[in-house]
Amino acid sequence: MSVLVYTESEEGKFKKVAFEVASYAKAVADQMGTTVTALTINADEVSELGTYGVDKVLKVNDSKLDMFNAKTYANVIKQAAEKEGTKVVVVSSSADSKYLAPLLAVGLDAGYASNVVEAPTSASSFTVKRTAFTNKAFNFSTIDTDVKIVGVSKNAFGLKENSASAAVEDFSPSIPENGVHVESVDKATNTVTIADAEIVVSGGRGLKGPENWGMIEELAEVLGAATACSKPVSDLGWRPHSEHVGQTGKPVAANLYIAIGISGAIQHLAGINASKVKVVINSDPEAPFFKAADYGVVGDAFEVVPKLIEKLKEFKAQNA
């Protein structure tokens, strides 16, 4: 009966979202009067999950699972859910979890709600609040099936500490073959990804050309932030598509989003709206972004950004 949460790791270490989905699973388990079981796949050290309310860990370690594969991972989670007699499975909104969740839903005959931002109102009606219309609205939905899957939005529920000591059980599921084979993974190392970043620094067409991105990268470095860009910038080929954030690009749910030289088209704002605090730097006081931002600086980015970098360096030096 326990709530099952899939706590993702990378190279043996938990991703931050693992603790957020564990916190969410604990809230659901409390409503249902049950416990939380976490499933880990090739994680090294799992005891930290106890801090977020996990009572039991099903620990899978198998070199056949070194490479993420949606169908195989969905099958492993299904086996764990069946073993635990789970009624609610909690996953994150990472690219991998969003890939596997629909496969798992069919496998478990479970209804699935994605982009969920709050715990269900009650365990009996199981109404969840999720974002829809690319963050322009919320949708309240019931999940009507016996087994339910909740995909939790990043940075929405937050981390909640709930001390428990997690009992660890080794779990050896069967690992079926499947028809999609990973040939290569091309991943930037040593840079913060937009998906994981707490702070995102984003540049728009106001920066006039790709040669001016040095200050954006420097600002990002000072803040430990990821860099991103608006759609026109990626369409013009100034920056790679992987940096494009907005409705047809990547969603951003950071703690702090800094938009530089971005006017704030409705499609852009929709994509970054889930970020908690938004700062805009733009020379045009009429730019729509000022209506969506928490803090704004009306000024020339080429003057403001270098000054801001200096101020932040001073701040970091004082608070180091």
Q: Are strands 148-152 and 226-229 parallel, antiparallel or unpaired?
A: unpaired
CB of 214 to another protein, least distance (A): 19
Looking at the Cβ atoms of 183 and 211, the one nearer to another protein is 183
CB of 73 to another protein, least distance (A): 12
Looking at the Cβ atoms of 16 and 172, the one nearer to another protein is 16
Determine if residue 237 is labeled as part of a ligand binding site.
no
Name the nearest CA neighbour of 58 among 79, 37, 75, 44. Answer: 37
Our measurement of the distance from residue 274's CA atom to the centroid of its chain's CA atoms, rounded to an integer in Å, reads 11
163 by Cβ neighbours in 10 Å (0-12 / 13-18 / 19+) ranks as: exposed
Determine if residue 263 is labeled as part of a ligand binding site.
yes
For residue 48, count other CB atoms closer than 10 A to its CB: 16
Looking at the Cβ atoms of 53 and 203, the one nearer to another protein is 203
Q: Which two tokens stand for residue 87?
A: 């009624």
Looking at the Cβ atoms of 39 and 70, the one nearer to another protein is 70
Q: Which two tokens stand for residue 149?
A: 């899957």
The secondary structure of residue 162, as a DSSP letter, is B
Q: Which residues, other chains included, contact 181 with Cβ-Cβ below 8 Å and sequence gap of 6+?
A: none
Determine if residue 165 is labeled as part of a ligand binding site.
no
End-to-end Cα distance, the chain:
47
Determine if residue 205 is labeled as part of a ligand binding site.
yes
Determine if residue 265 is labeled as part of a ligand binding site.
yes
Name the nearest CA neighbour of 59 among 161, 166, 177, 178. Answer: 166
Determine if residue 268 is labeled as part of a ligand binding site.
yes
Looking at the Cβ atoms of 57 and 301, the one nearer to another protein is 301
Residue carrying structure tokens 């494009």: 244
Q: Are 241 and 216 in contact (CB under 8 A)?
A: no
CB of 123 to another protein, least distance (A): 16
d(CA 72, CA 79): 11
Looking at the Cβ atoms of 31 and 290, the one nearer to another protein is 290
CB of 29 to another protein, least distance (A): 21
**Residues annotated in the binding site for FAD, as ranges?**
205, 261-268, 282
**Residues annotated in the binding site, as ranges?**
205, 261-268, 282
